[in-house]
Chains A and B, each alone.
Chain A
Amino acid sequence: MEQGGTLEAIQQTIRQAATLDELKEIRNQWVGRKGRITEQMKELSRLAPDLRRERGAELNAWRESVLAALTRREEELVDLEERRALVHERLDLTIPGRRPEVGLLHPLTRVRRRIEDVFLRLGFSLAYGPQVESEWYNFEALNIPPDHPARDMQDSFFVDVPGLVLRTHTSPVQIRSMQRHQGKLPVKIIAPGLTYRRDDDATHVPMFQQVEGLVVDEGISLADLTGTLTVMAQELFGDGVDTRFRSSYFPFTEPSVEMDVTCAVCRGAGCRVCKETGWVEILGSGVVHPVVLENGGYDPSIVTGFAFGMGIERIAMRIFGLDDLRLLYQNDVRYLDTFQSGEGDGPGDFKSSLA
């Protein structure tokens, strides 16, 4: 290719092409339909066979080599051109991103579901009862007769329908569940729901949520109660939590006990929150009173049971480290929005609250 220079020279020209148009021109000049290498290959037929073979191999090598150089340079130029264009599309990615529009469940819903989850795993079914309840289910059936001093413990809201009251606890569901089981064993339920008492301060709201629990079967004991509730406390608050039981009184259980857990603030050392005791009460419970079993249609000489009731708010306050219950019902979206991380949703993360 004496008249065009050496292969080295052609490749040099290719490497120096500054635009895709220039590159196209070079392509046409050498390997296009009328390109110089193409033309010379057409003339091969005129050569003697020996010479033709030799010359043909040489031309083919040239051609391959030029095409490869062209492709390489083309890629370089395309890349260069895009890079030049993208410089103008730069975005400031430190601007806050567009967060997916996903809502949040109320923290109390999340805590309720966690409690439900623990008990479902322990084989408890979910049961429900009406919020506007008959006085019989709310009081009498639970061994609280009309003049019983214990009625003073629960300041009730009354309604204009005779004999009905806003339930002061979820305990009426104990009776309803036993009746629904019609004597079948075991009865093993938890009953979450709204309850009402005439109280309104930083630690009491007039409407609040409870979870009731009831197990009725042959041979159910106080030890089964303390064992079950200890497992629950560990599931909700982490293995590091310590629990203790204290004698207490509820008309519908006998013996009655309250469960305390180690104070989350001082971890048992004693502080203002736990009134220097190192313990915080979280629920009331006990062995089901024989009268209650009878009212549910069970024979207390054959079966026994345990029951417990806890305020979901109190558990939530413990889990989230809150000191004012009312905020949970104020529904300030900024406040609700602060419950982003999954404390309410899984075990494990609570271990840190005690570690």
Chain B
Amino acid sequence: MNIIEVVNLSKSFKAKKGTITAVKDVSFNVRMGELFGFLGPNGAGKTTTINILCTLLTPTSGKALLNSFDVVTNPNEVRQSIGLVFQEPSLDEKLTARENLEFHAMLYNVPKAVREERIKYMLAMVGLYDRKDDLVNTFSGGMKRRLEIARGFLHHPRVLFLDEPTLGLDPQTRNHIWEYIHQLRKKEEITIFLTTHYMAEAENCDRVAIIDYGEIIAIDSPSDLKKEIGGDVITVIAEDRDKAKKTIEEEYNFSVIENDEGLHFEVENGETFLPKFIKKADFKILSISLRRPTLEDVFLKLTGRRIREESAEANTALKIHARRLMR
């Protein structure tokens, strides 16, 4: 059964010159209980889609149902059905951790009888129970994120949206956050809708939609997506690159992608192929490596580009910096 159904959804914004279409005629379903991922570079339309699904934006055209409620005509029912962790912090830093959750519970009509219990439970689940009476402005970035995740789960939503939940956090904190999310997922019956541009996070999903320039270009489980890549990825750096490329293409009939890092091609069974390949090679190999394909390879194959992780990181750093300046 589908918890989210999206049909021909589009969203355009008026810009200085003409209009910008952030989401173009997108259709997809999310099944109940799955961990669904939106993978794509910054500006691909991930957040815009989420904002439509959570009733913050109205679509230009198309239809979206969440928990069988229409996001345009039944916004309050949709809002009650979802929890959100935004890309940017959305806590009241002048209130304590417990108060932030208390206000959320009140806004979402969590009955008073169970409110305290639920707040305590969620704080314990994300390891913040000891800090419950501290003001949020004394928390680290990772702690704030955990508190937001606890808040997202608080009112027993059917779908939890995580919009780049670990953006700007260091790898260790990132893993930590995911541990909490997986633990909570086991305990609560919930569908998780994740947007990310981190490959490792996307690999964890049951299904991934790859989105680029506002369009979904592939949607499947990570393993099936990677099957599109014909097996393993081999990267060769040769002294005579042109000769190597010619040999691989003509003798083995592989299609070679050439970039700064070397020559890349795909083979079905890398482990048995490599020794034979090295032995037969009539060009000098400087280095050779074999790896299982990643979603990055899938993205590269589908779009010819890499997901621009660096630029996204830089962008975030800038935003965080700007935020500090404003305070």
A and B co-occur in one complex: no
| B residues whose Cβ falls under 8 Å from a Cβ of A | none
